[in-house]
Chain A
C-alpha cells in the first residue's frame, strides 16, 4: 500500500503542489512554535511582577539612601557635628602676605 501511495504521489503531485505542501508545512510549524512560545510566556506574569517589585524595592532603597546622604551632608548638620568635635570659628584669621611684618599680634 505504501509503495502504491508513493507511486501515487510521484505521479499525481506537480512541482507547484509540492511548493504548496512545503508552504503549508512551514505555516503549521510556525503556528506550533507560536503556540509553544505563547504558552511559555503566558505564565511569565509572575516573573514580571517579581522583577517590577524588585525594581520598586531598589528604587525605594535608593531614595532612602539619598535622603540620608542629603541629611548627613547638610551644612547645619556638619556645623553641629564640627562643634561637637571641638572645632571653633576662627575669630581673627591670620593672613600670610609677601611682606612679612616684624611681629604678629595673635590675639
Chain B
C-alpha cells in the first residue's frame, strides 16, 4: 500500500511540475512569447505617403517628388576599408576623414553615409558591388523648373523628429495638406518570409498628400525671372522684387525676388533669402502711395481732378518743411498734375483736406495695418499707429508715402482696388487643392469689400494714366497702350533718420487701363545707377509689361 501511495504521489508530483511549467509559459510569460513569435511570423511595414505636388496653372509640376537613396555602410561587412572609403567619397564628393571617423565608431551595426543621393550616383555605387554598402529608398523633392519662384514655393526640410516638414512659402503654409498620412501593413508570413494569402493581413493604405494647383502662370513667371535678373544687374540694385496679380480674382500670376536660392539645396543658402519679400519685407512706399491717398480724397469728394493747388515753395508743417522731390515748384497744379509732377506739397494739401480720421479709415479699408490673408507662410503686417499717436507731420508724410511701413503684397492689393472698380480682393496663390481621389477643393476669388466707388476708380485710373503719359517715366512707356501707374522713390530709414543716398525705387501700375489684365509692383532696393524710381523701377515695369502684352496678345490701341 505504501509503495502504491508513493508511486501515486510521484505521478501527482510530476503532473504538478508539468502543470506549473505550463502555467509559467502560458500565463506568466505568455505576452513576451507572443511578441517574440509575432516578430517571427508577422511582418510589419510603415507605408510612407507621397508628398503632394505643386502645379502651375497649366498643370505642369513646379514641385514634385523623385526617388533618392539613403546610402549607408555596415562596418562589419566591409572587406577593404580603404577601397570602400576612396570609392564612396569620390563618387559622393564627401570628406574622407569624416567617413573614416564614422566607420571607426565602436559597436555600430550601420552608419548613415549620405541622404538624398540621386538615382545616377546610386546606380554608380551599386555597380561597384562594394561589400558593406547598402541603399534605402527615400523620397526627395524635385524642382523641374529649378529655382523658379523659389521663395514662393518654400522648401522641405526635417523637423525635430527627422520627419519631412515644409518651411516658408507654400510648402510651409500647406504642409499639412501636402504631407498626407502614413499607412501601415501587418502581414503574416511563412518560414521563408513569404506572405501567406490566407493569413492575417491588416493594411491601412497610405493617404498621399494633396496636390496644389496655383494661379501662377509659368510663362509669366519666366518673363518676371528673366527681366528681374537683367534689371538687377542693369540698375546695380542690392535686391529686387516683382509681383503680378490678376486684379479681378486676386490670383498671383507670378512673383520673383532676388537674391534667391535653390530649394533643392536650401542647406547651402543663406537663411536670409528664405522669407518671401512679397509678404515678409516691409518698406516705406514713397510716391506710389499718392495714388491711394488721392483715390481716398476723390471718393470723399474733398477734391476733384480739376481742384487747384498753388505750389509756390516748401510747405511748413509744424517745425518741418515739405519740399518737392527736385526742389522745383510749378505754381497752379490740378490734382492730376500733382500726380504727374509727384508733388509732395500738393499731396500734403490733399492729405490735410482728407483729415487724419478719414486718412486712417481709408488706410484700414485699403488693407494696411493687417495681414492680407494670402496663403503663404511668414506674412508680416506692420501695424498702424492709433489716431491719438498721429501728429500733424505724420498726416503730411503719410500723404506722400513716408513714415508708414507696408508690405509689397499690401501695396499690390491696394492698387488692385483702383483697377478693379473699387473692390478689394483677397490675394491668393493656390487656385485648387486636389486629393488623390480627384476631389477638387476650389479656392475661389474672395471679394472682401468695396473701398471706393466704381466712378472714383475710373477717375483715379485716368489720373494715373496721365501720370504715366506726362510724368518723369514717360520716355520708357510702350507706345499705344493705356497704362495707369505711379513711380515711387522712398528714402530708407536708418537708425531714426533717413539715409540721403539709399532709396527704394518702385513702380506700381495696371494695364490695359480700360480692362486691366494685370496689376504689377516692381521694387528695386538701393539701385546704384540712379536712385529714382522713374529711371529704374519704371522702365523695368514697362519692359515686363511689353512682354506681358505680347504674351496675352494685347495689341496697342494706336
Residues of A within 8 A of B556 (CB): 95
B13-66: which residues lie under 8 A (CB-CB) from chain A? Answer: 60-61, 64-66
- A45-B198 in contact given A75-B219, A90-B550 (Cβ < 8 Å): no
A51-81 residues with Cβ-Cβ distance < 8 A to B are 60, 63-64, 66-67, 70-71, 73-76, 79
Residues of A within 8 A of B219 (CB): 75
Closest partner residue, chain B, to A74 (CB atom): B144
Docked-complex contact A70 and B64, CB < 8 angstroms: yes
Instruction: Give, as a whole number of angstroms, the nearest-CB distance from A106 to chain B.
Output: 15
Given contacts A44-B197, A74-B144, 6 further A-B contacts (CB under 8 A): A38-B198, A45-B189, A45-B192, A45-B196, A48-B194, A60-B67
Chain B residues contacting A71 (CB-CB under 8 Å) are: 144
* B218 touches A (CB below 8 Å): yes
| Chain B residue with Cβ nearest A56 | B137
| A93 engages B550 (CB within 8 Å) | yes
Contact between chains at A73 and B60 (CB < 8 Å) = yes
Known pairs A41-B198, A42-B198, A45-B197; A70 contacts B144 (CB<8 A) = yes
The closest CB in chain A to the CB of B60 belongs to A73
Contact assessment for A45 and B144 in the assembled complex, using a CB-CB cutoff below 8 Å? no
**Chain B residues near A95 (CB-CB < 8 A):** 555-556
7 A-B pairs whose Cβ atoms sit less than 8 Å apart in the complex:
A38-B198, A42-B196, A45-B197, A60-B67, A63-B67, A75-B221, A76-B222
Is A17 close to B, CB under 8 A?
Answer: no
Residues of B whose CB lies within 8 Å of any CB of A are 60-61, 64-67, 119, 142, 144-146, 148, 189-190, 192, 194-198, 218-219, 221-222, 550, 555-556
Asked whether, in the complex, the Cβ of B64 is within 8 Å of the Cβ of A75, the reply is no
- Residues on B with beta carbons closer than 8 Å to the beta carbon of A13: none
Interface residues of A in 92-106 (CB under 8 A from B): 93, 95, 97
Chain A, residue nearest B145 (CB): A74
Decide: A76 and B142 in contact? CB cutoff 8 A: no
Q: Determine the chain B residues whose CB is within 8 A of the CB of A60 once the complex forms.
A: 67
Residues in A neighbouring B197, C-beta threshold 8 A: 41-42, 44-45, 48
* Residues of chain A within 8 A of B119, CB atoms compared: 64
Q: Is the interface of A mostly helix, strand, loop or mixed?
A: helix
Which 10 A-B residue pairs are closest in the complex by CB-CB distance? Answer: A45-B194, A70-B144, A95-B555, A74-B144, A41-B197, A44-B197, A67-B66, A75-B222, A48-B195, A45-B195
Residues on A with C-beta less than 8 A from B194 are 45-46, 48-49
Contacts of A90 in B (CB 8 A): 550
Least CB distance from B511 to A in Å reads 15
Q: Is the CB of A70 within 8 A of B146?
A: no
A42 in contact with B190 given A74-B145, A76-B145, A95-B556 (CB within 8 Å): yes
Question: CA A13 – CA B99 in complex, angstroms?
Answer: 86
A73 to chain B: closest residue by CB: B60
Distance between B140 CB and nearest chain A CB, rounded to angstroms: 11
Q: How far is the CA of A45 from the CA of B189 in the complex (A)?
A: 8
Q: How far is the CA of A72 from the CA of B550 in the complex (A)?
A: 25
Q: A34 — nearest CB in chain B belongs to which residue? A: B198
Tally of contacts, chain A with chain B, CB under 8 A: 60
Chain B residues in 8 Å Cβ range of A67: 64, 66, 142, 144
Chain B residues lying within 8 Å of A63, measured Cβ to Cβ, are 65-67
Decide if A97 touches B222 in the complex (CB within 8 Å): no
**Chain B neighbourhood of A70, CB < 8 A:** 60-61, 64, 142, 144
Instruction: Report A28-46 residues with CB < 8 Å from chain B CB.
Output: 38, 41-42, 44-46
In the assembled complex, which residues on chain B have CB atoms less than 8 Å from the CB atom of A97? 555
Q: In whole angstroms, what is the CA distance A78 to B163 when docked?
A: 35
Q: Cβ of A44: which chain B residues have Cβ within 8 Å of it?
A: 197
Expressed in whole angstroms, the minimum distance between the Cβ of A94 and any Cβ of chain B is 10
Which of B142, B198, B218 is in CB contact (< 8 Å) with A75?
B218
Bound form: Cα–Cα A75–B226 in Å:
12
Complex-state Cα separation, A28 to B146, whole angstroms? 68
A76 to B146, CA, bound (A): 8
Across the interface, do A75 and B145 meet the contact criterion of CB distance under 8 Å? yes
Q: How far is the CA of A34 from the CA of B67 in the complex (A)?
A: 43
Complex partner residue of A45 from B60, B66, B190, CB under 8 angstroms? B190
Contacts of A79 in B (CB 8 A): 222
Q: How far is the CB of A13 from chain B (nearest CB, A)?
A: 38
Chain B residues contacting A38 (CB-CB under 8 Å) are 198
Chain A residues with Cβ below 8 Å from B65 are 63
Chain B neighbourhood of A42, CB < 8 A = 190, 196-198
CB distance from B70 to the nearest CB of A (A): 16
Cα distance A76–B221 in the bound complex, in angstroms: 11
CA distance A70 to B221 in the complex (A): 17
Q: Which B-chain residue is minimally distant from A66 (CB atoms)?
A: B64
Closest approach, in angstroms, between the C-beta of A99 and any C-beta of chain B?
10
Collect the chain A residues with CB atoms within 8 Å of residue B144's CB: 67, 70-71, 73-74
Name the residue on A nearest B222 (C-beta).
A75
B contact residues around A73 at 8 Å (CB): 60, 144
In the bound assembly, the distance between CA atoms of A46 and B556 in angstroms comes to 70
Inter-chain CA distance A64–B66, complex, in Å, is 7
Cα of A60 to Cα of B66 in the assembled complex, Å: 9
Highest count of chain B CB atoms <10 Å: which of A46, A79, A95: A95
Alpha-carbon separation in the docked complex, A37 to B192 (Å): 20
User: In chain B, what residue has the closest Cβ to A41?
Assistant: B197
Query: Closest residue to B218 on the A side, CB-wise?
Result: A75
Q: How far is the CB of A27 from chain B (nearest CB, A)?
A: 20
- Inter-chain CA distance A45–B67, complex, in Å, is 27
Closest to A79 in B: B222
Residue of B nearest to A89 (CB): B547
Question: Which residues on the A side are within 8 Å of B221 (C-beta)?
Answer: 75
CB-CB under 8 A from B190, the residues of chain A are 42, 45
The smallest beta-carbon distance between B257 and chain A, in angstroms, is: 17
Chain B residues with Cβ under 8 A from A48's Cβ? Answer: 194-195, 197
Flag if A49 contacts B195 (CB, 8 Å).
yes
B64: chain A residues within 8 A (beta carbon): 66-67, 70
CA distance A107 to B64 in the complex (A): 43
Q: Which of A44, A45, A60 has the most CB of B within 10 A?
A: A45
Residues of A within 8 A of B198 (CB): 38, 41-42
